[in-house]
Amino acid sequence: MSAEQQSLDGLEEEARRALAEVTTLPALADVRARFLGKKSALSGVLRGIGRLEGADRARVGEQANLVKERIEALVSARRDELGRGERERALSETRLDVTLPGLRAPRGGLHPITRIERDVVAFFTGLGFGVEEGPEVETQWHNFEALNMPPDHPARDMQATFFVDGGHVLRTHTSPVQIRTMSGRTPPFRFIAPGRVYRCDRSPRHSPMFHQVECFMVDENVSFADLKGILYAFQRHMMGADVELRFRSSYFPFTEPSAELDYRCLICRGAGCATCSQSGWIEAGGCGMIHPVVLEHCGIDPERWQGFAFGMTLDRAAMLRWGIPNIHLLFDGDVRVLEQI
């Protein structure tokens, strides 16, 4: 047996063992180069064939090519195996568990004031009231004069006013929308006007910007009884069927007679607590029969038409409904607060 033949016999076996130990495709490429590459023993044998005698040349050549084919076949079989393994590993490493919950995109919600306001609008439109708006930068005439508060009227002090310029203020209440809505039109009227109002005031229960809804109705036979009836229905809708109301006589220049409306504290049911300052009652707003002078300012004959009006704070309703202790929590935009609502 020639030296070439001996080494050929061992080569296949050697390659088989080396391939069995290989675990990655790059390592497989190395093994292939070692056994089949230009510098491999096999290539050496093939290169040396030319120098052999005729009979040996044919035999060794045939055998060397056979061994080369076999090793090629072994390498390719191992490559298939490793490839399959790597594919499986890649698949299992990146496995998707489609039963896991997905990433939840944070979802916004309506602001508590918006929700209260929509509730108010839904209630009154259901009774046939229209919805009006007015500017937040308002003329002094609409905010005061037309509402029977001439320039030196002491009632102006009650409304801690932000002045914009000589003629304008940030509206201190929604009552000027009464004037804007009624001027130049003929009764009957049934309107509400929700919106932002401003007063120079700040405490846990007061914000310099807050929300009111104005409600007014003018017709030929409107009385205080209509006002009470609608206020009761409204407060039952907002606060629940068992709400208890109290009218206290009061004074507003633009209504006569005037009253303030309180409801029994929903937190302590009248026993007294921090929310109602131990009084058992919470102020809901002001109301009364529209003063004849206000109707005259709008070009309406007070001998023929009468009406009622009331103005109510929306912020306090939101605070009570969701148990918000401090009005500023409504406007600070803290998502942790809003998320609980």
Q: Does residue 288 interact with ligand PHE by CB under 6 A? A: yes
Q: Does residue 207 interact with ligand PHE by CB under 6 A? A: no
Please name the helix (run of DSSP H) or strand (run of DSSP E) that holds residue 147, with its range, or none: none
Of 139, 181, 255, 275, the residue at the interface with ligand PHE (CB under 6 A) is 255
Binding segment toward ligand PHE, per CB under 6 A, in 32-40, 136-144, 218-226, 280-288: 280-288
Binding segment toward ligand PHE, per CB under 6 A, in 38-46, 85-93, 96-104, 305-313: 305-313
Query: If you compute the radius of gyration of the chain from its CA atoms, what whole number of angstroms results?
Result: 45
Please name the helix (run of DSSP H) or strand (run of DSSP E) that holds residue 76, with its range, or none: helix 54-93
Q: Does residue 294 interact with ligand PHE by CB under 6 A? A: no
Binding segment toward ligand PHE, per CB under 6 A, in 85-93, 162-170, 203-211, 282-290: 282-290
Terminus-to-terminus CA distance in the chain, angstroms? 94
187: preceding bond cis by omega (within 30 degrees) = no
Q: Does residue 311 interact with ligand PHE by CB under 6 A? A: yes
How far apart are the C-alpha atoms of 122 and 188, rounded to whole Å?
Answer: 21
Binding segment toward ligand PHE, per CB under 6 A, in 66-74, 294-302, 308-316, 330-338: 308-316
Query: Which residues, numbered 231-250, are part of the site for ligand PHE (CB under 6 A)?
Result: none
Other C-beta atoms lying within 10 Å of the C-beta of residue 84: 10
Query: 246 pairs with which residues across the strands?
Result: 262
Q: Does residue 148 interact with ligand PHE by CB under 6 A? A: no
Q: Does residue 287 interact with ligand PHE by CB under 6 A? A: yes
* Binding footprint of ligand PHE, residue count (CB under 6 A): 11
Minimum Å distance from CB 174 to ligand PHE? 7
How far apart are the C-alpha atoms of 80 and 51, rounded to whole Å?
Answer: 37
Minimum Å distance from CB 338 to ligand PHE? 27
Q: Does residue 286 interact with ligand PHE by CB under 6 A? A: yes
Q: Does residue 309 interact with ligand PHE by CB under 6 A? A: yes
Of 191, 252, 263, 281, the residue at the interface with ligand PHE (CB under 6 A) is 252
Could you tell me the two tokens for 28?
A: 């497989």
13-52 footprint of ligand PHE as x/- string (CB under 6 A): ----------------------------------------
Please name the helix (run of DSSP H) or strand (run of DSSP E) that holds residue 267, with its range, or none: none
CB proximity list for 315: less than 8 A, separation 6 or greater? 113, 207, 210, 211, 327, 330
How far apart are the C-alpha atoms of 74 and 66, rounded to whole Å?
Answer: 12
32 versus 211: smaller Cβ distance to ligand PHE: 211
CB 254 within 8 A of CB 294: yes
173-202 footprint of ligand PHE as x/- string (CB under 6 A): x-x---------------------------
Structure-token match 């919106």, residue found: 195
Q: Does residue 60 interact with ligand PHE by CB under 6 A? A: no
How far apart are the C-alpha atoms of 97 and 192, rounded to whole Å?
Answer: 55
CB 212 within 8 A of CB 311: yes
Task: For helices 54-93 and 25-36, give the axis angle rounded to 10 degrees.
Answer: 180
Minimum Å distance from CB 307 to ligand PHE? 10
Residues that bind ligand PHE (CB under 6 A): 173, 175, 252, 255, 285-288, 309-311
